[in-house]
Every structure is written in C-alpha cells, then in structure tokens.
Amino acid sequence: MASGEETFQAYLRRQGLKTTRQRTAIAREFLSSHRHITAEGLHRSVSRKNPAIGLVTVYRTLKLLAQAGVAKERRFGANESCYEPAAAGGHHDHMICKICGKIFEFENVKIEGLQDRVAAEHGFLIQDHKLELYGVCRGCRKVKPGARRRK
Amino acid sequence: MASGEETFQAYLRRQGLKTTRQRTAIAREFLSSHRHITAEGLHRSVSRKNPAIGLVTVYRTLKLLAQAGVAKERRFGANESCYEPAAAGGHHDHMICKICGKIFEFENVKIEGLQDRVAAEHGFLIQDHKLELYGVCRGCRKVKPGARRRK
DNA sequence: CTTGATGCAAATTATTTGCATTGTC
DNA sequence: GACAATGCAAATAATTTGCATCAAG
C-alpha cells in the first residue's frame, strides 16, 4: 500500500523527473489537506511554511499529481478547479448545497454498478466518472428563507 | 406545453426585462441548435444571420436563458462552459470520450432513483445533478493506439 | 421619454508559457 | 556539469464590467 507521496515519487522517477524540495513540500501539504482544495488555496497553505514557493509551481505540481493518479481534478459549479487526493479507499461523489456552498461526500456502489452497465451497453469503457448532486442540504432546509412572500 | 422560447419570453416579462431583437435571435438559434454549444459557438451561428450581435450579448443572454430554466450550463473537462437546451423530455447525462472528445448522451431512470435515495438518506434536497462518465468510446476502442510498447 | 439593452474596449479571473537562473541527479 | 525545475513577468483564454449610445415599453 503505497502512500500518496510514495506513489508520486515513484511517478517522478519513472518519468525521469526530479524530486525537488518544492514538489515534496507541495505534495505533502496537498495530501495532508484532505478534501478539495484550489491551486490558490494550496499555495496559501504551502506558503505558510515555505514562502518562497510560487503559485506557478503549485499549478505545475498539481498537474503532475493528477498525472500520477494521486490527485483528482474536480470542477464544481464554480469558476476555479478543485483538486482532491484520490481516495485510497474507493471513489466518492459529491452533494453541493446551493445555499451554503458546503460540499458533502458520499459513496454508492449500486450507482457505480449501473454506470458500468450503461457504459457497457454503449460499448464505452469507463475510466473515471463524476456525479454531482446540487440542491439544499439538511441544515439549510430548516431555515426556509423567505418561503414565498405573500403580497 | 410552453416552448422554450415562450418560457423565455414569459421569464423576461415577469422580471420586467425587455424582449429585444437580439435576445429573440439568440434564444431561437440556441433552441434550434440541439445539444451542447459554447458561447463562442452560438455567437458564430447567430452572427451568420445577424452579424451585428456581439459576443457579449450572447454571454448575457445565455445567462438569462439559464435563469429562465431554458438552458443548462455544463462544464465538461474542458476550459469553457457549454450550454444545452433543458430537455423538455427528461434529464440526460453524458459520456465523454477522452480520445476523440465526442460526447454521448444517455438516460437512466434507475440511477436517478438511487440518487434520490442517497440524497434522502442525508436529508438533502436535490434540485439538479450532473453525471459524467469519462473514458473511451466504442469507435476509439477499436483503434488501440500504441497498446503498450514492448521494450 | 424613461429605463433597460447593446456593443465596444478595458478589466478580471484562472491558468499557462517564455526565459534567465537555480538546484538535482 | 547537464538538463530539468523554479519563479518572475508577460501571455492566454474565458468571461465580465464600465460607459456612451440605442431602442423597447
């Protein structure tokens, strides 16, 4: 069971790329910051301990992490890309609350099974998938904002 | 059964917005061009008959169409947003081929049922969802590019 | 005739690239 | 020591906004 960091290092070696101080720092920070983070956000985290690292390097390293299979790029409704560590323990999907913006994760094996079946019916080979449910989360449902103003 | 165009007009009136020549032209073109189109692409189409309409207006109108519920914004792996007419006849999802870039549509009621169940378990109210399968389509599977070069 | 809509150019945002310098292998 | 990696600034790409002018209600 290779840790994300090991997988990344192995990928670099395999590709004849170099293991640099900044790549290691970025990868480590990324892997320890569970759940979706933006390039900008990751750069902020990394900068705390390592102010000399540039945003550009974070972008480049995130791309490498994705290629290594350690990071997954996600793009929710927003304008900027999020990355998240590729969960060692299986794939998960997201529910995004349109009110508070919170993102909830879930896993459902049956849905994945059906996806496989649909793909098979079309002769399509699935490599990856994204399922996002947009709506209102439990917390925000309680609030009932406005509830249709009466004239 | 209101056509997309009628729905849009109604939305404009309801919001106290104006029905302009360009909005009508853009909406009509959009609705007749089935399946995902980018702002740029739609502008190209519209320009053919109506060269004076600016790209900016297309962007603004697409946003209105989305608010009116007539258009759905989608964002596949790519960098730019696609819009597609909100299918009058039910929701559909997408399979995107990573090789040739083609996008296939499919519909699966069982998956949607499971989504509802998962959401319910979390007290989440679904308003919309996106399911995208990324992989290799039938056509591209036949080609086998490279098939792991032997050293 | 009032107020929103358009179109242009300029601004923003997210991301990428050119290039001189630096650090790994 | 070679050659990839970094960081800066500048370049792109997609989209948005300010503003003077125009047109729908």
Chain D: positions less than 7 Å from a protein CB are: 4-9, 13-18, 23-25
Closest-CA distance of chain A to residue B17, Å:
21
pLDDT band at B131 (very low <50, low <70, confident <90, very high): very high
pLDDT tens readout for residues B99-128: 888 889 998 999 999 999 999 999 999 988
With respect to CATH, is domain A93-142 assigned 3.30.1490.190?
yes
| Pairing state between β A125-136 and A93-97 | parallel
User: Rounded to whole angstroms, how far apart are CA atoms A129 and B105?
Assistant: 14
Mind giving me the DSSP string for chain A? ---HHHHHHHHHHHTT----HHHHHHHHHHHHS-S-EEHHHHHHHHHHH-TT--HHHHHHHHHHHHHTTSEEEE--SSSS-EEEE--TT---EEEEETTT--EEEE--HHHHHHHHHHHHHTT-EEEEEEEEEEEE-HHHHHH--S-S---
Question: Which residues in chain B have Cβ-Cβ distances shorter than 8 Å to A79?
Answer: none
Annotated domain spans of chain B: 4-85, 93-142
pLDDT tens readout for residues A58-111: 999 999 999 999 999 888 877 889 999 987 667 889 998 988 888 899 989 999
Contact residues of B toward A, CB < 8 A: 75, 95, 97-98, 104, 106, 108, 110-111, 114-115, 118-119, 122-138, 141
pLDDT tens readout for residues A29-41: 999 987 789 999 9
How is residue B96 written in tokens?
Answer: 């995107």
Region for residue A40 given its phi and psi (left: phi exceeds 0; alpha: psi -120 to 50; beta: otherwise): alpha
Q: Do B141 and A125 count as a contact with CB atoms less than 8 A apart? A: yes
Is the minimum distance from the CB of B18 to strand D below 7 Å? Answer: yes
Taken as a whole, chain A contains a residue count of 151
**The CATH number of the domain covering residues in B4-85:** 1.10.10.10
